Amino acid sequence: MYRVRVRSVPPVVLALRRFPNPRLTGIGAGLFAALTMFVLACVDRLLFDSSELVYGLLFLPVSALTALWVRPADLVTAPISVPIAFAVGVFPISGGSEGLGGQIMGLVTALAVHAGWLYGGTLIAGLIASVRKVRQMRARRRYVLAQGRGGAPASERAPRSAAASAAAAAKPVRAGAGGAGAAGAVTRRPQRP
């Protein structure tokens, strides 16, 4: 007698399943990440006086959500759009001086100083996207193997197809059926030059 072992689902997994699970396109995931990071940077500037630590800590979950919510066909876009979102969001807290040149220099400096957070968020997005892709490929492989096992074996299918082709060849051909011969070849008239 076999016992069926039922695995209980941890409460953390149950809590995570209650969260929304949207499937964003690649562009949608990029827009989500960029807009979220820009809004969070504005909030960081207002409440925390442009704290790099707060911005970096907020960037990590946004990176994870972007990689989790992108649809399977666009998984490769998650690690690409996350650094762009970081650059868009760091603009309000960059602290550049007046003028366009000063703002650009402040942005470049902020990106250089926050490179650790940028790499960390990109790594998180890349790992989540990679794990999702591997799971998708395994599920597809299992599905293909199940479809191959679910049908009749090849030895049983071959006689049916041979019998079907023999029955089709035994059908009589109507007169005037478009010039098809007994073998099914189409005969053509030679053309004159």
pLDDT per residue as tens digits for the range 56-70: 899 999 999 999 989
**pTM exceeding the 0.85 threshold for the entire prediction:** no
Contact 121, 86 (CB under 8 A): yes
Helix (H, G, I), strand (E, B), or coil: what is residue 56? helix
User: H/E element holding 38?
Assistant: helix 26-48
Decide if pLDDT at 173 tops 70: no
Task: Confirm if 24 and 68 have CB atoms less than 8 A apart.
Answer: no
Compute and round to an integer the Cα radius of gyration of the chain.
31
Tokens at residue 27, please? 């562009």
150 pLDDT band, cuts 50/70/90, is low
Phi/psi of residue 176, nearest 5 degrees: 75, 30
d(CA 42, CA 50): 8
Query: In which residue are the tokens 């926050």 written?
Result: 114
How many CB atoms are located within 10 Å of the residue 66 CB? 29
Give the pLDDT confidence of 58-107 residue by residue, as tens digits. 999 999 999 998 988 888 998 999 999 999 988 888 776 677 788 788 88
Least confident of 26-35, 60-69, 177-186: 177-186
CB contact at 8 A, 84 and 65: no
pLDDT for residue 164: 53
pLDDT for 40 equals 92
Average pLDDT over the chain reads 78
* Per-residue pLDDT, 110: 81
pLDDT for the residue numbered 176:
54
Average pLDDT on 158-178 reads 54
pLDDT band at 130; cut points 50, 70, 90: very high
Given a contact cutoff of 8 angstroms between Cβ atoms, the answer to whether 122 and 81 are in contact is no
